[in-house]
Structure 1
Amino acid sequence: MENDFGTHRPLEGKIKKVTLYSRKKRSTIFEQILELNDEKATIEIVNHNPPGMGDEYLFPNPAFDGVMGDLKDVYETFFEKSGRDDWKLVFVNEAGEEFETHGALQKSGRLSSISDMIRSMFKRNDLLVFDGNPDKVDRIELLFNRCLNFSNEEIVDSSERIVIDRASEAIVVQRNTFDRLKVRSNVQLAGIVSNFLDDVSVNAFSRVEGNPADVCENPAGEQNYLIRLETKFGRKKEVKGSFDKRGLPVDWPKFAEKLNYLLYYYGVAGEILNPFNYEKVLRCKDELIFCNVCFDDSGSAIMCLADEDQYEFGDCVYVEGIDEIGQIESVEYHKKEDAPVSLRKIRHILGKYDDF
């Protein structure tokens, strides 16, 4: 889309009428015709297969000047050189001169925003306008619960809830930590929330890889999630499972990264959006535990073998044969036959610094 007055000329004279033709291919091709003038607005729905079937709706036009301003903006800003004519916009001035432009349906961006405004003004959610009236995500609710095992006697629950809502143009973040600390943040982002949800497919969170049957329990404790998604046309989806790389939807990392980027600016990003949490892979029973450990003197990491699955990024550890303290950079799981280094020469982790 681009401005190209070499292809269609600027509007001239006082505009008396504007007509928008919108088409969309489904099982049949049908057309909607929206006609506005300074006295009334007419909406006609024409089915081309079979021909001759259609309805006409007459409305008083409460905001002709406002709508006209937006439609003029479309004319002056958007032009499709490829010849796509999913929509066609025709202006007629007092002298009877016609000015026409056309283009492809756009499911997001400026054309979609104008389409939503026109549907809202006429209270008609079925209008195709400039975007084809696609189904959109209206609300996403994210729930995260973590049950941490600090010792055999102490088990502590914490939870997070994030709601992204188009109607209120707000993102609400709630955290309950250790049953004592409760925090609630309400971030109002007019326009930004809608744009964010426009980029989320109604088919999001549909595919989960799933953990193998022989996966070990998370040694730190149980972590679960629940995702609820609602769309404009009333579709509802619910996805739940264990909060780890294979238990989450495959498109979760990309979604979480974008949401975290948005919320981090306002200081309300949470644990559910932390890649160190959602990128964690649960170990299978036949896999060994390999840790990449960094030492200050060398500045490089060496791979070590751990006997227990208790180490995480940032833990300070002792390694056999090395006097200085090392720090865990990452943890990997591999079967014995797929070991990334020789098991005969690998060093073993002796334990955490805090345990000595």
Structure 2
Amino acid sequence: MHVPDGFINAPVSAVAGVAAAGAVAVSLRGARRELDERTAPLAGLVAAFIFAVQMLNFPVATGTSGHLLGGALAAILVGPWTGVLCVAVVLLMQGILFADGGLTALGVNITVMGVVTVVVAYALFRGLVLVLPRTRRSVTAASFVAALVSVPASAAAFTLIYAIGGTTDVPISKVLTAMVGVHFLIGIGEAVITMLTVGAVIAVRPDLVFGARGLTAPLKLRVDGELVDAGTPAPVAAGSPAGSPRKLWIGGVVTALVLAGFVSFYASASPDGLEKVAADKGIDAKVEEHAAAGSPLADYGIKDVADARLSGGLAGVIGVGVTLAVGTGAFWVVRRRRTNQEAAAA
């Protein structure tokens, strides 16, 4: 759902940019409360993983594809404030390096794909885990529903922005029906990916999943035929082997590299939901060429590399690496500021 330049007029794009900048600034402050020495590296990994999976377009209807937005996944894994930042980092890298999503439309994209998805998904997720049994299975089920709803909500948000500042004269009711309809189908794919990823992380390191904190049922022991509480286990030390997220981090990086560098070659080549609706309804009549169209990595390929498989694979690997480095660096700085503030307060 990357909005290109030319879909939304300059004044509304500017307002969306200010709103997105404000959301990022607020999220930077909120992320200080969510990140610690174990979860800060995980946040950079989440950004890189979202970048990789967004390269895997999957078919949803005849001539139409979809891809992960990632807001729900990021919010559940590392927290809503950090989740907004993860998606913002991905969109920034895609816009600057790969000419994916307009630069003047960056504020629109962060608002629609980052802020809206995170807010809707995490609010629904928290509501569900409050009423469901406090188990890991409930977390994965809630993540499915939250991710599913977040995608058509994002499509509705784009339609609202288009109604205010669209550059073409298209009936809004038709745009809304088409956008929400196709993105509901995309939301099913988003929900499956989110549920499987959250479930996989919970299976190996539930203590690192932000949305699963406090939900683990106490260990029970059977004594004389009766189940009794085994007591509260001692907290895992951050510096101990059990507390280190290194194995999870390495596994996640390898997975992201394989997805972006190899599996992405087999992704659907059909236009995504927004591109398809834009072409069918005439929204793209005034689309503008991307400012970074001449980038060596534009359109997720390496310039002057003739082999399509090699070109796309190398571009994906570079994208994962750059996103991981920028994301990890940004979250490390956020974490360091929290540490310095705590030291000053002490």
TM-score tier after normalising by the smaller chain length: under 0.3
Higher helix fraction: Structure 1 or Structure 2?
2
Higher strand fraction: Structure 1 or Structure 2?
1
Higher Rg: 1
TM-score (norm 2): 0.21
